Copies of this chain bind each other. A is one copy, B any other.
Amino acid sequence: MSVRLKLTGTSLAAGLLGLAIAAPSFAAEDLKQVMERRGLTEKNILAAAKTYTPTGGRDEFLAFSSGGQSGHVLVYGIPSMRILKYIGVFTPEPWQGYGFDDESKAVLAQGRIMGKDITFGDTHHPALSETKGDSDGRYLFINDKANPRLAVIDLHDFETKQIVVNPLFRSEHGGAFVTQDTDYIMEATQYAAPYGDEFVPLEEFNEKYRGGLTYWRFNNEKGRIEPENSFTFELPPYSQDLSDAGKGPSDGWGFTNSFCTERYVGGTMRGRPPFEAGCSAKDTDFLHVTNWKKAAELVAAGKIGKEVNGMKLISMEEAIANDLLFLIPEPKSPHGVDVTPDGKMLVISGKLDSHAWVYSFDKIMKAIADKKFEGKDPYGISIIPIKEVLHTSVEVGLGPLHSQFDSKKCVVYTSIYVDSMVTKWDYCEGKVLDQLPVHYNIGHLMTMEGDTVSPQGKYLVALNKLAIDRFNPVGPLHPQNHQLIDISGDKMELLYDMPVPLGEPHYVTAIRADKLKPAVRYKSGWNSRTDTKSEWKTRAGREKIVRDGNRVHVYGTVIRSHITPEIIEVTEGDNVSIHLTNLERAQDETHGFAMYGQNVQLSIEPGKTASASFVADKAGVYPYYCTEFCSALHLEMQGYLLVQPKGYKASGVEAVAGTTYTEADYNKQVETNIATQDVINSVVGFITARNFKDFPPVVALVEDATDQLGFADEAKAKSEAAAGKKDWNNAMLWANQWWQYQVKTADMGLRAKTYLEEHGAVEVKK
């Protein structure tokens, strides 16, 4: 089909291009007709060309977005803005088996609060691991605001590996932010509360309610947070908000802003003005400046940091005495504090101040060294005056919220909530460069690697909190709207509106796709949550059911298209664990496993071992089956759990076969198989006559096809053995199984053949 765009030579007065499809065999629309029919402008076509990604194409960047109250993380491609995956983090998610298999239940159990399962998270700020301040594509961290928790996702397999609960906080918002070599992950409280589980009346708010800032130690080798090597700064009961860690010259320091430094407690039903009034009454709040490197040393030396609830807590007295903690006034109700790529400046914006403010790190250090303080807060923390640290401030618009950096020197973008726009400005010179309306009420924004030492420029994503009229209506609950903006030129250009269909993302972070090296399979018999060989790993042919009293372990396997075992018999009251290893090596050959009535749903990717445990508390018949459409015989990938009543004795009566087969049936099947083998041979001939080894996807398919054909040989041998004994039933059925494997071989082979045809493979001489 040679369809091509062709210049017609006519152009419309409106500036439209004369552009037609010359199609030999049918009358399709040309581009001009499509534009007219769909009401597209030329600018739209250019935006489409900048974002449209044809089949098999790759995105230049991958974005990792918080899923908000969905408790997930979502991954999308830029510039195509196609969502590639929702990763289950704090919320159980059955497609992934997350929170359904024993292995991931253990991860979620780490996140229990006061012993209770919490089945959601309010994910806020994802952070990618860094090396020397640069995104390295190894790990992703994300926090839960509702219950102060932090999760670690391994980007090797895009799975959640660990959840830690902050043992001091009752709320947090300002996580996750990494130090420049991912030695620590910052997490700050939001709403002040007592540090213990006990009740403290609000009358003692100033004295006993506390904020805080935890530096979680991350073990880069193990890829896990080490709570025992982490520490927390006790902070006043201000509402701490976002943080950022220093980098380059400012490495070793952390910056955490706050709101409601008024320490106001609302009371809408007590005649008191609401929190929103009392928490936004002053003109400035406080930026907290913490020296984490020195603090870590003092804690490690045992000089500061008493253990409270298993967490080393640096008291405000200790922090003050050791010059670890300072405050700087900052504009009213701030949200973002963002360290510039060179680590020399901080950009701060307050939602109720129309300016963005730039503080100089050097000046902060100098003020501290010179003890240039304007007094202390009520808790004795020294306050550095704004005038000592201010580099510049710029009027950026109503409701500035969060800033990210461009690859161009001195260029920063700030989201403007109330004005619903993005302001591009120069933080060196202190001047506005450009403004672009967004739809609507933008929260965070994000540029490519824009919070690292080497921002990549090119694109910006506006995370708009309201979509309102942007999409087809889908009821009172609207999607969010992430808008992609081209920032490669002097002027920002809107490219694409992406609805977010699940959750209200708060923040996104993006990385160059070529920095990621995800796996396509696990080592055989792998526990993907601990990243160790599973104790339940099972090889083909070694499946077994092991009983110990009323504890039953099933060592099973799954492969196209059967589950072994297909029948599991247990007794009412047994504790049953079914462990399944996916024997496939082929990419994307995931099998699922669902069972009636037991809330069992596993996702078993190639190589993985996953386990389902339950109490078989009721006698009965429980069908199970594969939930992934893995082959043409997928529906037949089934089995039965039979829960026998206590004391049940089998009748000893043999089952009568539903259908019986004759020698003629057997011979007919063998004939089919021989014909099918001819098809396979011709496909194999086609492939091997071409330079297929130059195409890795085809090599993988050929490997898989060869595997399947090996299984066919086994079934063929069984078939012939049964035929030798004139057991025509088994001979016929094994012959049919032989054919099933042939079909799977042909499936792979045909896909490989198509690939070669579509990718210009050439004939080779043998």
Contact = CB atoms under 8 A, between A and B. Distances in A.
Contact of A276 (B265, B627, B665, B737): B737
A734 to B, nearest CB: 5
A42 interface: yes
Contacts of A519: 475-476
Interface in A464-504: 465-479, 483, 488-491, 493-494, 496-499, 501-504
Interface in A145-182: 145-147, 156-159, 170-171, 173
Query: 6 nearest interchain CB pairs?
Result: A263-B658, A5-B42, A94-B120, A48-B52, A158-B475, A277-B737
Interface string A425-463: 000000000000101110100000000000000000000
Interface in A716-740: 718, 730, 732-734, 736-737, 740
Contact of A398 (B45, B48, B587, B746): B746
A7 B1 contact: no
Contacts of A11: 7
A266 interface: yes
17 contacts: A4-B42, A28-B488, A31-B49, A145-B627, A170-B622, A205-B658, A259-B635, A269-B565, A276-B740, A281-B659, A333-B636, A351-B632, A440-B751, A441-B747, A441-B751, A443-B629, A502-B502
Copies of this chain assembled into the complex: 2
B736 A280 contact: yes
Given A86-B501, A146-B601, A494-B55, A206 B158 contact: no
A400 B697 CA distance: 25
Contacts of A202: 567, 640, 642, 655
Contact of A658 (B55, B206, B734): B206
Contacts of A29: 46, 488
A143 interface: no
B199 A55 contact: no
A357 to B, nearest CB: 17
A241 B651 CA distance: 32
A82 B651 contact: no
Given A100-B120, A418-B750, A603-B477, A259 B69 contact: no
Interface string A256-289: 0001111111111110111111111110000000
A38 to B, nearest CB: 7
B658 A621 contact: no
A191 interface: yes
A157 B476 contact: yes
Contact of A50 (B34, B333, B736): B34
A661 B283 CA distance: 12
A595 interface: yes
Interface in A635-651: 635-640, 642-645, 648, 650-651
Given A5-B43, A54-B44, A567-B202, A502 B85 contact: yes
Contacts of A637: 275-276
A521 B476 contact: yes
Interface string A20-46: 010101111111001100111111111
Given A26-B491, A45-B49, A48-B49, 6 more contacts: A170-B621, A200-B621, A268-B564, A274-B636, A281-B665, A399-B747
B274 A122 contact: no
A654 interface: yes
Contacts of A3: 42-43, 46, 493
Given A26-B491, A201-B650, A206 B419 contact: no
Contacts of A137: none
A77 interface: yes
Contact of A352 (B67, B157, B190, B632): B632
Contacts of A27: 489
Nearest to A49: B34
A694 interface: no
Contacts of A561: 274, 276
B733 A278 contact: yes
Contacts of A420: 750-751, 754
A764 interface: no
Given A55-B470, A420-B751, A543 B77 contact: no
A489 B26 contact: yes
A681 to B, nearest CB: 16
A637 B191 CA distance: 11
Interface stretch (A110-118, A224-232, A323-331, A364-372): A110-118
A113 B15 CA distance: 64
Given A25-B490, A68-B627, A642-B201, A597 B468 contact: no
A471 B201 contact: no
Interface string A321-356: 000000000000101000000000000000110000
Contact of A82 (B120, B499, B522, B645): B499
A489 B750 CA distance: 27
A535 interface: no
Given A122-B601, A592-B69, A471 B197 contact: no
Contacts of A470: 55-56
A351 B746 CA distance: 14
Interface stretch (A307-315, A383-391, A604-612): A604-612
B114 A478 contact: no
A566 B146 contact: no
Nearest to A119: B599
Nearest to A12: B7
A625 B463 CA distance: 21
A497 B55 CA distance: 6
A472 B18 CA distance: 35
Nearest to A477: B605
